[in-house]
Chain A
Amino acid sequence: MLSIRNLVTSYGNIEALRGVSLDAAQGEITCLLGPNGAGKTTTMFTVAGIISAKSGSVTLDGEDMTRLPAVKVVSRGIALVPENRLVFPYMDVEENLRAGAYARQASKAEISDDVAAVFRRFPRLEERKGQLAGTLSGGEQQMLAIGRGLMARPRILLMDEPSVGLAPLVVEEIFGIIRELNAEGVTILLVEQNARMALRVAHKFYLIEGGEITFSGIPGEFDEDEVIHRAYLGARKE
């Protein structure tokens, strides 16, 4: 479905991605793991069109998306739920969701239906629909950011570190949501530092280090600790 080939991205003279290739299959959760500064967020930003790739390609169902600006990427079916959530702090919850549908050519009724669908999925957001997003808790903001991403009706949902900065119980909740979304057929490309949690939901994983994919596989085929250890991620089991 989403296919990334030899993607190179640089900030000035510094190459952040040095030829990343990966595939995310329809209906699956594909997980990109790696330490800080490995190029995970850069990969997400490049795919989403926030940063322009230097070379390589990104295709979605065969359609070339490389170097399209973010505005076009989202309207063609790739939505990114960014790291740190980046909700619109001075907009209320409902407006945040409506902003997520900005790129769609949809009727008001259609968008209202989708807002209602997000509220059914996240009843806590409905309770707070008139509240400013900046006043929500971290977990609620993450739900809102996910809901905003879904409002674009993407073919694939990119999620960048959805667990970052959240309490362990809330992390469990967020991963529960990811699993549910996937069970309903949403294709997900997930970036995580919390490798242990990520490996539990992933169908396939890639390890990225120093801007390159160094390892990939299917979670069940490897010992979880070995994977985590190999990528120097998280803590080793005592």
Chain B
Amino acid sequence: MGDFDFVYITQTVGDGLLFGSTYALIGIGFTLIFGAMGKLNMTYAAASLGGAYVGLAAFTFVNAPALVVFLVSALASGIVGFIAYLTCFRFIPIHNHLAALMASIGGLFFIDEIVIHTTDGSPLTFPAMFEDVMFELGPLGIRGDLLFVFAVCIAATAGLLFVLYRSRLGLATRAVSQQDVAARLCGIDVHRTNAVTFVLAGLLGGIAGAMTAAAVGVLSPLITIPLTVKGLIVTVIGGLGSIPGAIVAGLMVGALENVFLYFRGVNERDMYVLLLLFVFLVFRPHGIFGSAISRD
């Protein structure tokens, strides 16, 4: 619990913004699937960390380099995303939102249990990159590993936006999320497109999971629920279904969380983050980028 020190606060906010990029990525994943199906995929953060665990296995057993670890994390999480789609969404009647929600909450705990049983629930060290690098910026320092995490998250987001806005696949994804009947009339296969959306979100989640672990330095099942909650908070604050909203909200939550940490300590930090969510729900329930155009 610090005093008001301008340099230190700037440092804190800066670190928070960098780390917030992982929240943004998780938020984008939630929002992507919500946009496509109007449903929350509660398995998402668990799948993301699950992917990171598979990446970690590649590190532990074949001593794969960090970049390969991140790639394996992304791929594994993409596969888990596809499985989550098949088990929790594909065959549940489209209008039964509660069933899909409950199924995916079940999926969340299922993935979490698998992780706990295979790791005995103990935290494992996760490889970081550029850990020892520190950039000096006057009185401020930028941690190399956080900067790397930030850069990867930006690249992943840019890649996603490219797919969404420049590819045939992205056209289909957006069409289904905006008007599914019209999408079908245009010849777009809604089920296949939804599956692709889950895989895309999963790839992104795996990167986010790996980056979270890389920034913290460890992977632990204890991260699952907080990351789920943070992801949902970011999604709601950003505006359900809004990718720019998730980006802004992710960075904002990352920064503010560090400020709360600085002033009030780690025990109270998440309380203030939840308070922030509450403030948004009361005063701006549609989030930062609430939809301007009503949907048919």
Contact = CB atoms under 8 A, between A and B. Distances in A.
Interface residues of B, number: 20
Nearest to A79: B185
Contacts of A100: 186
A88 interface: yes
Given A74-B186, A100-B186, A82 B172 contact: no
A50 B175 contact: no
Given A102-B171, A102-B172, A134-B293, A86 B182 contact: yes
A164 to B, nearest CB: 12
Interface residue SS majority, chain B: helix
B186 A89 contact: no
Contacts of A49: 184
A84 interface: yes
Contacts, number: 78
Interface string A60-90: 0000000001110011000110101111111
B185 A70 contact: yes
Nearest to A104: B187
Contacts of A148: 182, 186
Interface in B157-210: 168, 171-172, 174-175, 178-179, 181-189
Given A90-B174, A135-B293, A102 B179 contact: no
A143 to B, nearest CB: 15
A86 B296 contact: yes
B296 A99 contact: no
Nearest to B295: A89
Interface string A112-144: 000000000000000000001011000000000
A70 B187 contact: yes
Nearest to A75: B187
Given A89-B293, A135-B293, A74 B185 contact: yes
Interface of A: 48-50, 69-71, 74-75, 79-80, 82, 84-91, 95, 98-100, 102-104, 132, 134-135, 148, 152
Interface of B: 168, 171-172, 174-175, 178-179, 181-189, 293-296
